[in-house]
Amino acid sequence: MSTISAAGTRACTLVGMPELPEVTALAAFLTEHATGQRIVAVNVASLNVLSTYDPPPSALVGRIVRGAGRYGKFLDLVIAPSLESDPAEDLHLLIHLARAGWLRWSDSISAVPPKMGGPIALRVRLANGGFDITEAGTKKLVAAAIVRDPNEVPGVARLGPDALSLDRDSLGQILKGQTGRLKNVITNQTVIAGIGNAYSDEILHTAKLSPFATAGKLTTVELDRLSTALISVLTAAVDRSVGAEEARLKGEKRTGLRVHARTGLPCPVCGDVIAEVSFADRSFQYCPTCQTGGRHLADRRMSRLVK
Ligand SMILES: [Zn+2]
């Protein structure tokens, strides 16, 4: 969802996948606004959005929202028979917002169920307000599941340790022996949960590391920088996102990014021009001076066109 101007810069209204900071913000918003509320209706308005059928959506109606949480990039709405009931009886509505999904809260949500096949995939109506899970574009990738245990969802069961739970030594342990490129390894949800394309760009830029560095071969000093950057970038983004009440926004804006989605713009640290590596359906950004000793990384798409 970006256009490249004649000057090669990118006018960006990028709809990126919500990552750890945004999903944390959505969970915090729901915890604040939905906890203690009774579910009045659950409308499924997309054929493929729900990956489970037992318990059915109707099983949520009449129950109470106990709170909301996050597993990696999955949002978890915890729904109890009553606030006093045993948590073992809770049901979980797990939502993965994928590339173009978002959660939009409304204080006065419509009682009319959304149209099938439209931009709203799922609506949860509460006694006061409620939310829609929306998805822009034609590729329908947003996924929801209603389960008794979050680990029934394969994507949750496979998650590695949460990014924010990693201190320097545990990060070192995780990366040890990894032969993949650093960018790929830290965005692999089975290795580390919560980091995607945008925040990995930011973390690697702050850590002054090449996205193509071999993950298992970082020096002690590089590992120190990566660990510090990982926590500081994500923590700052969580603080910004939670403050922004993102569930009231349309969600297409991220603030505070220094390198991601800024191809052609100056690096805020050194002033060099931010470069990009493009693939068929995505791209990532980096600063040559800060991260790769001034070298430009091979752009797969361009080299394929040249061949
Ligand atoms: Zn730079």
- Is this model's pTM higher than 0.95 or not? no
Cα→Cα distances 94→52, 70, 101, 222, 294, Å:
10, 9, 13, 36, 43
Whole-number Å distance between alpha carbons of 32 and 29: 5
The answer on pLDDT for 5 being more than 50 is no
- Residue 142 Cα to ligand 1 midpoint, Å, equals 35
- Residue 233 Cα to ligand 1 midpoint, Å, equals 16
- Residue 269 Cα to ligand 1 midpoint, Å, equals 5
- Residue 275 Cα to ligand 1 midpoint, Å, equals 10
Backbone angles phi, psi at 8, to 5 degrees: 85, 0
Q: Looking at residue 301, what is its pLDDT?
A: 57
Tens digits of per-residue pLDDT, 143-165?
999 999 999 999 999 999 999 99
Question: What is the longest distance spanned by two Cα atoms in the chain?
Answer: 65
The answer on pLDDT for 117 being more than 90 is no
- Residue 295 Cα to ligand 1 midpoint, Å, equals 12
The answer on pLDDT for 49 being more than 50 is yes
The answer on pLDDT for 189 being more than 80 is yes
> In whole numbers, what is the pLDDT of the chain averaged over residues?
90
The answer on pLDDT for 1 being more than 50 is no
- Residue 208 Cα to ligand 1 midpoint, Å, equals 8
- Residue 93 Cα to ligand 1 midpoint, Å, equals 42
The answer on pLDDT for 63 being more than 80 is yes
267-274 contacts: CB < 8 A, separation 24 or more? 267/205, 269/205
Average pLDDT over residues 273-283: 90
The answer on pLDDT for 307 being more than 50 is no
- Residue 257 Cα to ligand 1 midpoint, Å, equals 13
The answer on pLDDT for 243 being more than 80 is no
- Residue 210 Cα to ligand 1 midpoint, Å, equals 12
Query: pLDDT > 70: what percent of the chain?
Result: 90
Give the residues across from 146 on adjacent strands. Answer: 93
CB 247 within 8 A of CB 26: yes
Q: Looking at residue 260, what is its pLDDT?
A: 95
Q: Looking at residue 249, what is its pLDDT?
A: 64
Average pLDDT over residues 283-301: 90
Q: Looking at residue 136, what is its pLDDT?
A: 84
- Residue 236 Cα to ligand 1 midpoint, Å, equals 20
Tens digits of per-residue pLDDT, 80-112?
999 999 999 999 999 999 988 999 999 999 999
3-state secondary structure the chain: CEEECCCCCEEECCCCCCCHHHHHHHHHHHHHHHCCCEEEEEEECCCCCECCCCCCHHHHCCCEEEEEEEECCEEEEEEECCCCCCHHHCEEEEEECCCCEEEEEECCCCCCCCCCCCCEEEEEEECCCEEEEEECCCCCCCEEEEECCHHHCHHHHCCCCEHHHCCHHHHHHHHCCCCCEHHHHHCCCCCCECCCHHHHHHHHHHHCCCCCCEHHHCCHHHHHHHHHHHHHHHHHHHHHHHHCCHHHCCCCCCCCCCCCCCCCCECCCCCCECEEEECCCCEEEECHHHHCCCCCCCCHHHHHHHC
Q: Looking at residue 300, what is its pLDDT?
A: 62
Q: Which has more confidence, 268 or 298?
A: 268
Whole-number Å distance between alpha carbons of 271 and 284: 18
The answer on pLDDT for 280 being more than 90 is no
- Residue 260 Cα to ligand 1 midpoint, Å, equals 12
